[in-house]
Amino acid sequence: MDFDIFIKILVAAIASGTPFVYAALGELITEKSGVLNLGVEGMMLVGAICGFIGMATTGSIFVAVVCGMAAGAFMAGIFALLTLSLMANQVASGLALTIFGVGLSSFLGLNYTSVALSGVPELHIPLLSDIPVMGELLFSHDILIYCSLFLFAAVSWFLSKTKAGLVLRGIGEAPKSAHALGYNVIAIRYIAVLFGGAMAGLGGVYLCIAYTPMWVEGMVAGRGWVSLALVVFATWRPARVMIGAYLFGGITVAQFHVQGFGIEIPSQLLSMLPYISTIIVLVFISRDPTTIRLNSPASLGATYHPSQPHS
């Protein structure tokens, strides 16, 4: 294989994995607090279209990012209100959020389907980006990719090195004990859920202003669900989330290059690849129930409220 093409695929894999990085790291924080939000797909879609509208209206990447994060957090806010304050079932509420998000995003995006954006320019870091191979691989991406790396560092540091991170993990393991220690479980879970929503929204924004600078109805195309699977695949560890995200980025990119090598495969079969890989990866990681049980936050998905009379 031509080495240049190989590097190009790797660079493309990083870009294509970045929406997963944002959405999955956000969901990781949400799940670490013990809340399972299945609405990632819906939050990404609404974040994407709101970011797109922001970019199309003002031309500013910053405005797009703020709009997308706010929209994602707003969606997560609905979920938090239902599950944390009104004690609704988390699975049902997450599904509702996705169904609502699919409808809302195509509704908001009606007048934007034929709008083209200029995209996000690549930042060529002087000198460093001139290094052969490594320069292209590491130092010539757009700003949102560098931000996603910063997010990874911040999330890892927060979870493993800060007291707040410890509290968050404690709440995910044993909300009752955390409450007894005087922590406001509901308030902290609200913050974790809103953060997850904002990051899902940002992942959506990246997709529609940088990765493919246009709006297509339902363009997230299951990436929100793959992000949920990635958190399981990563056994709730940030570093493994990154590996998984770029792996899936690579699989997504590979389908475009296979045909480039003159291999005749129907496009539909290639499009199935990311979804089938997700299933295979899930099966591989879940086959030992103990791994999942030891690594997943103990109270994940269970409703908790201090006022609950029983259980």
Partner 1 sequence: MFFKIEARPEPSKAMKYFSPLVAALLMLFSGLIIFSLLGKDSIEAFYAFFIEPVNDLYGIGELFIKAAPLMLIGTGLAVGFRASIWNIGAEGQLAIGALFGGYIAIVFNDNSGFFILPLMIVAGAVGGLLWASIPAFLRTVFNANEILVSLMLNYVAILLLGLLVHGPLKDPDGYGFPQSVLFSDSALLPILMEGTRFHLGVLIAVVGVIVGWVLLQKSFTGYQIQVAGLAKNAASYAGFKYKKLIWIGLLSGGTAAGIAGVLEISGPIGQLLPTVSPGYGYAAIIVAFVGRLHPGGILLSSLLMALLYLGGESGQMNLDLPAAVTGVFQGLLLFYLLATDFLIDYRVCFSGFRKEAI
Q: Which residues bind partner 1 (CB under 8 A)?
A: 38, 78, 81-82, 86-89, 91-93, 95-97, 99-104, 106-107, 110, 221-222, 225-226, 228-229, 232, 266, 268-269, 271-272, 275-276, 278-279, 282-283, 286-289, 292, 307-309
CB of 16 to partner 1, least distance (A): 17
Nearest C-alpha neighbor of 119 from the set 54, 43, 55: 55
CB of 210 to partner 1, least distance (A): 23
Structure-block tokens of residue 292: 């999942």
| Between 162 and 267, CB nearer to partner 1 | 267
Sign of CA dihedral 70, 65, 32, 245: positive
| Between 97 and 155, CB nearer to partner 1 | 97
User: How many C-beta neighbours within 10 Å does residue 147 have?
Assistant: 16
CB of 158 to partner 1, least distance (A): 26
Residues in contact with 193: Cβ distance below 8 Å, sequence separation at least 6, in sequence order: 30, 33, 35, 37, 76, 77, 79, 80, 83, 84
Is 158 in contact with 165 (CB distance < 8 Å)? yes
Amino acid, res. 44: M
| Between 43 and 65, CB nearer to partner 1 | 43
| Between 140 and 255, CB nearer to partner 1 | 255
Structure-block tokens of residue 92: 């049902």
| Between 76 and 144, CB nearer to partner 1 | 76
